Amino acid sequence: MKTAPADPQRATIVELLEDLDQDAALPPRLPAPERAASSPLSVLERARAFAEPLLAPQTLGSGENALDHADGLAAILAGIGAAPGIQAACYLVYAGEYLAQPEDTIAKAFGEGYAGLVENTRKLVRLQRTARDAVLEEEAAKDQVERVRKMLLAFSKDLRVVLLRLASRLQTLRWYAATRTPVPTGLALESRQVFAPLANRLGIWQVKWELEDLAFRFLEPERYRDLARALHEKRLERELRVHQARAALTAELQRLGLDGEVQGRPKHLYSIWKKMQGKGLTLERVFDLKALRVIVPTVDDCYTVLARLHELYEPVPGEFDDYIARPKPNGYQSLHTVVRSADGQTMEVQIRTRAMHEHAEHGVAAHWAAQEAGAKGYAGTSQAQDAQVSEARKAVLRQLLAWERDLSEAAPTTTDEGRLFVFTPQANVIELCARATPVDFAYALHTELGHRCRGAKVDGVLVSLNTPLQSGQTVEITGGKEGGPSLDWLNPELGYLQSPRSRAKVRAWFNAQAAEATIARGREAVEKLLAREGRTALKLDDLAHQLGFKTADALFEVVGKDEFSLKPIEQLLRPAAPDSAPNDDADATRQHVRPATQGPRGGVLVVGVDSLLTSLGRCCRPAPPDAIRGYVTRGRGVAIHRSDCANLRDMLRRNPEREIDVTWGATTGSLFPVDLSVEARDRPGVLRDVLEVFAKLRLRVSEAKTQARPVRGGPSDTQWMLFTVEVPDSDTLAAALRAVAQVEGVRAARRR
């Protein structure tokens, strides 16, 4: 008969109930890890020796000694079959809290794998502490799902974090129980709502049961003690009956010629309590207080034992479950039946193979750890390439995905923006939006991979790029060496992209291509002009700055879009005529106006005077039919200003005798430069959109300036734009201002 090795470190609820007046003791502190067969020192020994001087004098936030806590973790992990390398990580993770540069130090001493584990675990611990502070009573379903998603992504980077966090929480609760220290409510709730379901999903049963029982004890102490006392009063009678049934069933196995083992199984308090509450039962009606577990070599042996058991005892109707034929979602397999003896006593019996028992005790997480240790001699890496290790890793992650999915389905309010999780070929988890496609997946990995995405495999099968993905699938992308996305990807009816982030990246690529072509056209036009003027040596950036643009490309872009005339560049390159050089009135200029001596095509007439040079004031930019006044300058004729021009009022106050009557003449075919001020929300593309309005109205923009600066007492995200636009009259100007005001984000558009 095979017997399972006893685990002296594993605390059970039976020990907690041996004496209701005393709390159970913690598992004894490990004086030092047992020496491994390898020499000179195993990684576990080296890790503990490294951490001991750092942890021994330290106390955790709970009050527990840091080295005692790490020893407890190592013992728990050893009990569920974790490799020595993962046990060693217990010491390094906590030692990292007391190192100035933990990742660098641990990487040098133990390798990059352990350094990454320390970093990932510390990040997750900080996340949990922050979330726990917000827990009052029962955690809201939406918050819990979001929290589990973050944990899932943290676990996916290094699965050792799963085992470390479960073991750490169990050790913490054991310490609180042993020392009778009050437990923070948030910590106990988190243990029951997050950590116990996680252990259940991974099939690590003894950790799950003990977490639930300890959380039950801390959160509902009166009910816990009442139930414990009721069980304790019948303990001797129950144990006697279990012993008798175990002996009888062992004898039957021998008669059947089966090499099996029969164990007595204690029922955990929280599961008893849940069954009583869920089914409205009294303690006497809970059939599986007395329970046996039969472990045999093969599946056929399981059904042989079941048949014999039902011959010896009366099966209780409705209490049989075949989890071998229909395994639980986390992979658990066993036969469950409840039988009644001749004296009316009931008893639950579980029947399973040795492999099923190992899975039930240790779960898929420990199975992954064993696979990695066996395949690579555990070197601390979480990027295992071996196919067997990768599949074991995916088995764990699929259970975590199922856990997240179960929570999401239980909380419908969280599915409005449903998420899904898929694997890379290296078994890394990628979070995507609902109905995401392989193209979305490629962009989530890297923007360049998304641009070059040409094909995809899902679970090894070629699929079209618009195939909706599902959680748990493995996606592999085939990318070209060059090229970009397809315009079809932006067609919503074709379904290539579901993620707004992916669509934005595709649009940005096409916008960049269009901008490059526009800039090239503008550069060609400007360089041709410079060649005609014999100014090819002029620095293009300097030219752009003189015209009010930050860079030469900004100038080329508006020229390439036909939103900026080459005429201002010509005027800048050609020196002004000597007779029009400015002297004392810097506010006057001769741009875009014909003198009155040109007959009916002239713009302004000076009343009572013929053949007098006129120029439009640059400070106020008059345009017909504005009310205008004239000011006689020295050497530059008459400067024309709007009647309400502040500069004109100031000049006339000093020299009132220089005023002269003027009126608009024939202005047909003439263009007048006017200054416009536009205030808008600072967003990408707002300047382009305003310039497009002018282009649609066929108005030339001779100058454009933009500046982002806060407005006193107003929004901080304001962009100011100043334009000089050539218009034939004020009516055209008013129409342009109305059109600009309709542009998204524009708050005000006015003439200066």
Return the CATH number at 128. 1.10.3210.10
What is the pLDDT, as a whole number, of residue 665?
75
Residue with tokens 């004098």: 57
For residue 722, the SS3 value is: strand
The answer to whether residue 740 sits within a structural domain is: yes
Single out the residue in 573, 594, 625 at which a domain terminates.
Answer: 573
Return the CATH number at 713. 3.30.70.260
- All residues at 6 or more sequence positions from 425 whose CB lies less than 8 Å from its CB, including other chains: 474, 476
Over range 465-470, report the average pLDDT: 90
Classify the phi-psi angles of 460: left when phi > 0, otherwise alpha if psi is within -120 to 50, otherwise beta. left
Verify that 431 and 414 share a domain, yes or no. yes
Verify that 599 and 553 share a domain, yes or no. no
Return the CATH number at 429. 3.10.20.30
More confident residue, 121 or 323: 323
The answer to whether residue 393 sits within a structural domain is: no
What is the pLDDT, as a whole number, of residue 65?
93
The answer to whether residue 262 sits within a structural domain is: no
For residue 423, the SS3 value is: strand
Q: Report d(CA 214, CA 439) in Å as an integer.
A: 47
Verify that 659 and 705 share a domain, yes or no. no
Question: Nearest to residue 164, comparing CAs of 220, 106, 83, 50?
Answer: 83
Q: How many domains does the chain have?
A: 5
The three-state DSSP-derived secondary structure of 119-168 is: HHHHHHHHHHHHHHHCCCCCCCHHHHHHHHHHHHHHHHHCCHHHHHHHHH
More confident residue, 226 or 445: 445
Residue with tokens 């990408």: 684
Domain extent at residue 103: 13-218
The terminus-to-terminus CA distance of the chain in angstroms comes to 100
pLDDT at 75 over 50: yes
Verify that 556 and 480 share a domain, yes or no. no
Verify that 71 and 208 share a domain, yes or no. yes
The answer to whether residue 21 sits within a structural domain is: yes
Asked if 75 and 207 count as a contact pair (C-beta separation under 8 A), the reply is: no
Q: State which H helix or E strand residue 457 sits in.
A: strand 453-458
Q: Which long-range contacts (CB under 8 A, 24 or more apart) does 545-550 make?
A: 546/572, 547/572, 547/703, 548/703, 548/704, 548/705, 549/704
Please state, rounded to an integer, the average pLDDT across all residues of the chain: 75
For the segment 204-257, what is each residue's pLDDT rounded down to a tens digit? 777 888 898 899 889 888 888 878 777 765 556 666 777 888 888 888 888 888
Q: Report d(CA 537, CA 527) in Å as an integer.
A: 10
Asked if 706 and 688 count as a contact pair (C-beta separation under 8 A), the reply is: no
pLDDT band at 173 (very low <50, low <70, confident <90, very high): very high
Over range 692-721, report the average pLDDT: 76
More confident residue, 579 or 85: 85
Q: State which H helix or E strand residue 20 sits in.
A: none
pLDDT at 341 over 50: yes
Asked if 623 and 729 count as a contact pair (C-beta separation under 8 A), the reply is: yes
Strand partners, 641: 629
Single out the residue in 543, 573, 603 at which a domain terminates.
Answer: 573
What is the pLDDT, as a whole number, of residue 353?
93
The answer to whether residue 601 sits within a structural domain is: yes
Verify that 464 and 593 share a domain, yes or no. no
For the segment 81-108, what is each residue's pLDDT rounded down to a tens digit? 777 878 888 898 888 888 888 888 888 8
Q: State which H helix or E strand residue 80 sits in.
A: none
pLDDT at 462 over 70: yes
Q: State which H helix or E strand residue 644 sits in.
A: none
Over range 270-286, report the average pLDDT: 69
Residue 401, token pair as written in the block: 């995905």
What is the pLDDT, as a whole number, of residue 463?
92
What is the pLDDT, as a whole number, of residue 337?
92
pLDDT at 32 over 50: no
The answer to whether residue 731 sits within a structural domain is: yes
Verify that 137 and 188 share a domain, yes or no. yes
The answer to whether residue 558 sits within a structural domain is: yes
pLDDT at 61 over 90: no
For residue 347, the SS3 value is: strand
Verify that 182 and 99 share a domain, yes or no. yes
For 51-60, 282-291, 506-515, which range has the lowest pLDDT when averaged over its residues?
A: 282-291
Verify that 563 and 591 share a domain, yes or no. no
pLDDT band at 594 (very low <50, low <70, confident <90, very high): very low
Helices of type H across 657-729 = 686-696
pLDDT at 544 over 80: yes
Single out the residue in 173, 188, 218 at which a domain terminates.
Answer: 218
For residue 485, the SS3 value is: coil
More confident residue, 416 or 283: 283
Residue 451, token pair as written in the block: 């641009």
Q: State which H helix or E strand residue 627 sits in.
A: none
Verify that 559 and 585 share a domain, yes or no. no
Question: Nearest to residue 256, comparing CAs of 296, 314, 299, 292?
Answer: 296
pLDDT at 578 over 90: no
pLDDT band at 407 (very low <50, low <70, confident <90, very high): low
The answer to whether residue 333 sits within a structural domain is: no
For the segment 719-730, what is each residue's pLDDT rounded down to a tens digit? 888 888 888 888
- All residues at 6 or more sequence positions from 575 whose CB lies less than 8 Å from its CB, including other chains: none
Verify that 132 and 168 share a domain, yes or no. yes
Q: Exposure string (b/e) for 207-233, b if CB count within 10 Å is 16 or more?
A: bbbbbbbbbbbbeeeeebeebbeebee
Verify that 107 and 180 share a domain, yes or no. yes
Which segments of 317-444 are extended strands (E)?
321-322, 335-340, 346-353, 419-423, 429-433
- All residues at 6 or more sequence positions from 238 whose CB lies less than 8 Å from its CB, including other chains: 231, 289, 290
- All residues at 6 or more sequence positions from 713 whose CB lies less than 8 Å from its CB, including other chains: none
Q: What is the CA radius of gyration of the chain?
A: 41
For the segment 359-392, what is each residue's pLDDT rounded down to a tens digit? 776 655 544 454 444 444 334 444 444 555 566 5
| Model confidence, pTM | 0.50
Percent of the chain with pLDDT over 70: 72
Asked if 621 and 672 count as a contact pair (C-beta separation under 8 A), the reply is: yes
